């Protein structure tokens, strides 16, 4: 019989106030029931926030290096359990085991980076314009942080939000995607084992439109970090703007890989296979558009179709599998609908375009050619293994196509021309640009995020993540013994 899991609220594993649960199943084998998880509501969120406020009072007074020491212990435990965590994630959301091992590694890297930042929460000391006066700033914690996280990186995304938030002295309420609740539970167990004070972390499972909404709307949660769809992000933004909350949004992408006629085509082929079909296309950074120079278009498409058609589809825990399932049936139906739209708009299916005859939410890697930059499949996020191929004639045209979407997360250019490489870094309208590498592959110690409808200007992880989860306080010390007036006494 499948296990029934609980929320972690107030330092205890507790049943939801609703007494209701949802099922979590393996997308590669929907008969495989992982467990039943709490279908929580605002009552559970209210209890979690009240507990997190108590946790904040203690944790915010803990020295930052000591906070970092606990996160280092978290990193050590993640190292010990890397294989078990990867297996659990693949069973839960489908991507191949090599990728979920990478997911754990990203959490490990983020933990160790955060631990070192416990001794590097730098402020500034600057000269005062007045005599016998010091002027300085330092970083201080904010309060309770609400995290709403997606399914595609069950460990990496919660940790790259959570670890900087904790290091900065905040307490955390985590509402993970209902598609990956088991990984979130395993993470909280590790945090507690590492010595994190129990009320500093709260875990509330449930649906986004109920538990997630209650967390975003709670008046005692001054900081929200959300990763998900642009549509939902807009609603979160409206709420946080009205309530004057600090908000980080990480939303959709429609990322393009540009291949010039002088590119190393074998290298570009490896890049697009990984960028388009890694994680079954379920990444905000996935290569969704392939822009090919007209001189190499036909040749490259033939090579790509042959290679993509040989990708092995199956359970991500099987050693030969290269492409796992989509996360659930609704996702596969969405992919099917977009392929139909592409064909209706005039695109041609080169390979794929169908689901294999096997249990699970699988869909074959699909390549569409004859796509115009105006087509919906070239403009809208599909979040599946569908690649739209667009032909171009000049670098300037490729830049216009890349920039002509509402998103601005990632882009890449394959070329041997160093001048075009540096033009791409400057002219491609994205938060991240790669040269001679695919649109996926961000590293844990650099800021991550996009522009336009991909985000709201903040960056996650890297050094900028610590700025988001802390506030700057400016301090003046006047030891002159007299009243001094800045901008007045010094400039009369």
Catalytic residues: 250, 284
Compute φ and ψ for 172, nearest 5 degrees: -135, 135
Best CA proximity match to 273, nearest among 291, 286, 260: 286
Best CA proximity match to 37, nearest among 182, 209, 155, 157: 182
Euclidean distance between CA atoms 390 and 370, whole angstroms? 7
Query: Side by side, which strands form the sheet with 7-9?
Result: 12-14, 7-9, 201-203, 171-175, 144-148, 223-227, 246-250
CA atoms within 13 A on the CB side of 180: 32
Contact 282, 331 (CB under 8 A): yes
Is 238 exposed, middle or buried, given 0-12, 13-18 or 19+ CB atoms closer than 10 A? exposed
Euclidean distance between CA atoms 437 and 434, whole angstroms? 6
Euclidean distance between CA atoms 10 and 203, whole angstroms? 10
* Whole-angstrom Cα Rg for the chain: 24
Euclidean distance between CA atoms 250 and 445, whole angstroms? 17
Helix ranges restricted to H, 243-328: 265-277, 297-309
Strands 124-127 and 29-38, bridge-based pairing: unpaired
Contact 408, 431 (CB under 8 A): yes
The total of other beta-carbon atoms located within 10 Å of residue 480's CB is: 10
Euclidean distance between CA atoms 183 and 209, whole angstroms? 21
Length of the chain equals 492
Q: How far apart are the first and last CA of the chain?
A: 82
Contact 224, 247 (CB under 8 A): yes
CA atoms within 13 A on the CB side of 366: 30
Best CA proximity match to 66, nearest among 118, 113, 107, 114: 118
Q: Is 34 left (phi over 0), alpha (psi -120 to 50) or beta?
A: alpha
């Amino acid at each position: 019989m499948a296990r029934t899991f609980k929320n972690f609220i107030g330092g205890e594993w507790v049943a939801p106030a609703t007494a209701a649960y949802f099922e979590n199943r393996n997308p590669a084998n929907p008969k495989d029931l992982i467990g039943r998880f709490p279908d929580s509501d605002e009552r559970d969120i209210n209890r979690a926030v009240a507990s997190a406020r108590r946790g904040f009072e203690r944790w915010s007074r803990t020295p930052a290096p000591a906070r970092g020491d606990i996160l280092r212990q978290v990193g050590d435990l993640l190292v010990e359990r890397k294989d078990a965590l990867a297996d659990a994630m693949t069973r839960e959301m489908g991507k191949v085991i090599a990728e979920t091992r990478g997911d754990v590694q990203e959490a490990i890297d983020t933990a160790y980076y955060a631990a070192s930042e416990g001794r590097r929460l730098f402020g500034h000391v600057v000269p005062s314009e007045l005599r016998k006066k010091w002027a300085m700033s330092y970083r201080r914690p904010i309060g309770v942080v609400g995290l709403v996280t997606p399914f595609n990186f069950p460990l990496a995304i919660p940790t790259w939000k959570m670890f900087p938030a904790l290091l900065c002295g905040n307490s955390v309420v985590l509402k993970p995607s209902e598609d990956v609740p088991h990984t979130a539970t395993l993470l909280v167990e590790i945090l507690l084992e590492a010595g994190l004070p129990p009320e500093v972390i709260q875990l509330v499972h449930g649906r986004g439109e109920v538990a997630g909404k209650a967390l975003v709307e709670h008046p005692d949660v001054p900081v929200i970090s959300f990763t998900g769809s642009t549509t939902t992000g807009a609603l979160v933004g409206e709420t946080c703007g009205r309530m004057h909350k600090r908000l980080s949004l990480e939303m959709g992408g429609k990322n393009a890989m540009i291949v010039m006629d002088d590119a190393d085509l074998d290298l570009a082929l490896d890049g697009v296979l990984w960028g388009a079909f890694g994680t079954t296309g379920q990444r905000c950074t996935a290569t969704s558009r392939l822009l090919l120079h007209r001189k190499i278009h036909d040749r490259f498409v033939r090579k790509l179709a042959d290679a993509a058609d040989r990708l092995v589809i199956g359970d991500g825990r099987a050693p030969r599998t290269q492409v796992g399932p989509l996360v659930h049936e609704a996702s596969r139906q969405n992919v099917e609908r977009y392929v139909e739209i592409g064909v209706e708009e005039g695109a041609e299916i080169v390979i794929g375009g169908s689901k294999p005859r096997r249990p699970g939410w699988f869909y074959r890697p699909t390549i569409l050619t004859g796509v115009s930059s105006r087509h919906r499949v070239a403009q809208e996020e599909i979040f599946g293994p569908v690649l739209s191929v667009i032909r171009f004639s000049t670098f300037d045209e490729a830049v216009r196509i890349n920039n002509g979407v509402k998103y601005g997360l990632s882009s890449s250019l394959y070329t041997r021309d160093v001048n075009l490489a540096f033009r791409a870094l400057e002219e491609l309208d994205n938060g991240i640009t790669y040269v001679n590498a695919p649109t996926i592959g961000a590293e844990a110690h650099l800021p991550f995020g996009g522009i336009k409808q991909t985000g709201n200007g903040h960056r996650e992880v890297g050094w900028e993540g610590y700025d988001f989860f802390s506030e700057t306080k400016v301090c003046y010390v006047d030891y002159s013994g007299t009243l001094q007036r800045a901008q007045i006494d010094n400039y009369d």
